[in-house]
Structure 1
């Protein structure tokens, strides 16, 4: 039996790694083999380092794919929040929400308050953190969600959409209250959000107090039922306060002006 040369063994490993779809092993084989020879690393340590490269790459790819599939309107991170500029109640509850235990427990979070106070930034930031920690997330605005439901119903794919919708670990439904719905839209929204109640988490951002939700659904009984299901054991965050967005804008304008040289 003819013994194989080191180059031939390398070629075999490259071929096996290609067939098994292990691109990081193919990429780093020569580097780690050389390091193992120079430092007299054991076979087990050599193999473990190669496999760790593969695992790290797959985890990073999975994080990227979860964020991409979440369809965030923009990428916002909790680390970018100026916490001291958030409304007082948000500052108090953010520490608890950041643990993501509410997702593990299937509890909702409702951010209610006037425009510009950081509701969407907080919601997306929590969603991004959830993606990085392995949860399946989907971001949508409430008007887009209602339109999507109607489209899938017209295309006879509503059941498939419902199945996906109720399986997300976290759904972020932004901008509840910016427009009202017709009877069909209100009923479908109620049905879909009810699918997740008590099992999976939903974040709702709204500029309306609960007393005004009747303006959205235009049905007192449905409004009461919706509020009851969404708020059961939920985190209700009072987001009324001065405009966080305006503070960001003023800070940005300040940096722009500070960089402009004054005429002598």
Structure 2
């Protein structure tokens, strides 16, 4: 579900890793794929993927929120293959890994990446009401506009 603290938890793990002197990069998945698309235009995509492979902890936030095209699916595969069994990758998503396949242009490539990612993964399912809804400012009562909520 949305708003339950997945990103908060992932960034907290990232902060713990930084305190232990590990390199960490946080990237929203759509921004990551946009950056890789731009790197492809100037022929630096391989360099960028190698750089991502050297980061100790890579946090990919909001993965598979939108469908991934063929290039994005391929980039995801390359990142996971390069990091597999050598570096920590944290992925947050509002979808279960089984649903990720339906969000990709190349199911076989995605399945290969997901299999590697989940083979040694610790999966946390965070459930509950949206934290954002609990922290919304109190609403004014239109029938009593002079009364201020506590």
Q: TM-score, normalised by structure 2?
A: 0.85
Deviation at 1:216, TM superposition (A): 1.9
* C-alpha distance in structure 2 between counterparts of 1:159 and 1:223, whole Å: 19
Moved over 2 A (4+): 244-247
1:216 aligned onto 2:91: no
1:147 aligned onto 2:34: yes
Specify the alignment match of 1:177 in structure 2.
64
* C-alpha distance in structure 2 between counterparts of 1:211 and 1:163, whole Å: 27
* C-alpha distance in structure 2 between counterparts of 1:219 and 1:176, whole Å: 16
Deviation at 1:130, TM superposition (A): 1.5
Residues 147-187 of structure 1 show CA distances to partners (whole Å, capped at 9, x for unaligned) of 11111121122232122211111000000121112111211
Q: TM-score, normalised by structure 1?
A: 0.50
Q: RMSD of the alignment, in Å?
A: 1.9
* Structure 2: runs of 5 or more not aligned: 140-147
User: Alignment partner for residue 233 of structure 1, among 120, 135, 146?
Assistant: 120
* C-alpha distance in structure 2 between counterparts of 1:157 and 1:184, whole Å: 15
Structure with more helix by fraction: 1
* Structure 1: runs of 5 or more not aligned: 1-113, 259-264
User: Alignment partner for residue 25 of structure 2, among 120, 138, 142?
Assistant: 138
Question: What secondary structure sits across from 1:164 in the alignment?
Answer: helix
Residues 88-144 of structure 1 show CA distances to partners (whole Å, capped at 9, x for unaligned) of xxxxxxxxxxxxxxxxxxxxxxxxxx1011000001111122112211000001111
Query: 1:139 touches 1:172 (CA, 8 Å); kept in 2?
Result: yes
Deviation at 1:217, TM superposition (A): 1.1
Query: 1:118 touches 1:245 (CA, 8 Å); kept in 2?
Result: no
Report how many aligned residue pairs link the two structures: 142
Greater length-normalized contact order (CA 8 Å, ≥ 6 residues apart): 2
